[in-house]
Amino acid sequence: MRLHSKENNMEANPILNNLPRHLMSLVIDQQYNDYTAQDHALWRYVMRQNVRYLGKVAHKAYLEGLRKTGISIESIPNMDGMNRILQEIGWAAVAVDGFVPPSAFMAFQAYNVLVIAADIRPIDQIGYTPAPDIIHEAAGHAPIIADPEYAAFLRRFGEIGAKAFLSPQDYALYEAIRHLSIIKADPYSAIDVIGEAEKQLAEISRNMGDPSELALIRNLHWWTVEYGLIGDLDDPKIYGAGLLSSIAESYLCLQPAVKKIPLSIDAANYNYDITEPQPQLFVAADFESLNRVLDEFAETLAVNRGGSYGLKQALRSGNTATAVYSSGLQVSGTFTQVLERNGEPVYLKTTGPSNLCFENKELPGHDIQYHGHGFGSPVGRVRNLSVSLEDFSEEELDQIGLTEGEPVNLEFESGVTVAGTVISKTICDGHLVIISLSDCTVSYEGNTLFEPAWGTFDMAVGKKINSVFSGPADPGAFGLTYPAPLEKTHKILHDEKAMKLHALYQQVRDIREQNCSFALLPSLWQELHRDHPEDWLCALEVLELLKAKKIEDDFTGEVTALLESMKSKGAVMSKLIDDGFAMLT
């Protein structure tokens, strides 16, 4: 895995050095030499349209961001070059294979790293593609993060989103979306295969159940980061990357037929269809208001609510989660049981590998091997104590009999009882977080929760659960991994005809860049017109060269006439060609 250019001796962006190991498994090489000349022409067309059109309708930060990030209009950006420049604004970029798991996507964002799908859309999806590609990521996301206020919002969104809970259905939906995007991005995919994938996605979408936290935050991400408008409700500007990278939707989104709604956290309740233009969009007043809406939404999540709500989210997810006691102790594992009284948790239990942490660092002796079968502990105050145990000083703990080698019998206000002999106490940052006991019995309402024969009982200390979030507190110590996807983006194997077309694109590119060999254009055009009469973009580039040389003869008329005739193929093609003509005037 290469994160810097050996050829140019560029140093890797230092931001990448902070990426945790569990995210690195999703990073791939860009394989820059695999882009065809047609790919570069497609990029160039889109970027020139963006500069021409988005300069009028996008947020003012967009064009300035293009300059700051050094993204070329003429050719697909090289990740090495992008990283050299992105580090100046405190960000970095990595190449990935299409869609990555939602929580991983958010985690990258939290580390100030853009994930860039290395592939580029096929030419028949030049206006819009449901799959992530380098146009969407590099031309959409990268320029706008040059604005410091927006960049802070994006990072904060990643931090919150990475801790939001998924449901099992969310992962099935992700897999279905990824599969559909892969086959739709392959120009050689059979229609029936695409149809079956669309049917599967629709079936999963219909059976999602109540939306998870991640489903809601994914909606909010869509209507802000991807499809957001900003400014005046009656004359908004574009800042969402999905709109900035779609020459079709950047036009459609501002039409009166698309309803404009003031942004609020209610946007999280609006689902979206990645395969269709959006019927409504949300308008933020400014970047500051984005942060206000995000913070308001974050207050509804388990990471801020904690308690029984948070633990129920952990149970529903069926995956690794972390509960944070008021003492600061963090319990990470798969939560399988929560006992409640009067709506508050009184005992929690994990099953399988678990660990205990403080401030996101694993505590010595409390790793996933030691707690390999799970962890259980009460939550709450001890009866007849005016202060919670976590707030006692060591001297005060000795005064109430919590001394190494001494027996104790703790009765919690909830009714949970813990009886055993104190082995040790763990204190972190002045707070008691764990009491380890031997010969221990834990009971609640006549049920035994822990027996002496099971070994040492490590009792978590804390009067309540302040926070619950998805994933382990210390991912490295826990051994968190994101396996590379089994289904890879298809490597497009072009047939001989396509390769000959790409060679013509390259010849046109060479003539333009070297500003010579214009005498080759007539024979090049004849081959293009004879063997590839359906191709419009190369024809447009030929016309551009003729216009640049102010050649107005039968040759120019022939190319123009062919392009005019192609407009009869439909409104989409007509607009592509008319927009191309507009760039040449």
Question: Does pLDDT of 2 surpass 70?
Answer: no
Q: Which CATH number fits domain 14-167+209-295: 2.30.30.60, 1.20.1420.30, 3.40.50.720, 1.10.800.10?
A: 1.10.800.10
- The pLDDT tens digits of the residues spanning 15-33 come to 888 889 889 889 988 889 9
Domain boundaries, the chain: 14-167+209-295, 302-478, 496-584
Q: Do domains 14-167+209-295 and 302-478 have the same CATH topology?
A: no
Cα-Cα-Cα-Cα torsion 220, 224, 225, 228, nearest 10 degrees, comes to 150
Per-residue pLDDT band for 259 (boundaries 50, 70, 90) equals very high
Tens of pLDDT, residue by residue over 353-362, are 999 999 999 9
Tell me what percent of the residues of the chain surpass a pLDDT of 90: 62
Dihedral (Cα; 54, 58, 61, 62), 10-degree rounding: -40
Q: Answer yes or no: are the C-beta atoms of 355 and 321 closer than 8 Å.
A: no
Q: Does the pLDDT of residue 5 top 50, yes or no?
A: no
| Between 100 and 504, residue with greater pLDDT | 504
The whole-angstrom separation of Cα 347 and Cα 337 is: 8
More confident call, 299 vs 72:
299
What is the predicted pLDDT for the residue at 419? 97
Pick the CATH number of 302-478 from 2.60.40.420, 2.30.30.100, 1.10.3720.10, 3.40.1050.10: 2.30.30.100
What are the b/e assignments for 353-392, b being 16+ CB within 10 Å?
bbbbbbeeebbeebbbebbeebbbbbbbbbeeeeebbbeb
Q: What is the pLDDT of residues 364-384, one digit of tens each?
A: 999 999 999 999 999 999 998
More reliable by pLDDT, 459 or 486:
459
- CA–CA distances in Å: residue 384 to residues 327, 391, 469, 492, 580: 19, 15, 32, 71, 80
In tens, the pLDDT along 532-549 reads 999 999 999 999 999 888
Mean pLDDT taken over the chain: 90
pLDDT exceeding 70 applies to what percent of the chain?
Answer: 98
Q: How confident is the model at residue 488 (pLDDT cuts 50, 70, 90)?
A: confident
The model's pLDDT over 90-126, given as tens digits with 9 standing for 90+, comes to 999 899 988 888 889 999 999 999 998 888 888 888 8
Question: What is the model's pTM?
Answer: 0.86
Given a cut of 50, whether residue 6 has pLDDT beyond it is no
Query: What's residue 381's pLDDT?
Result: 95
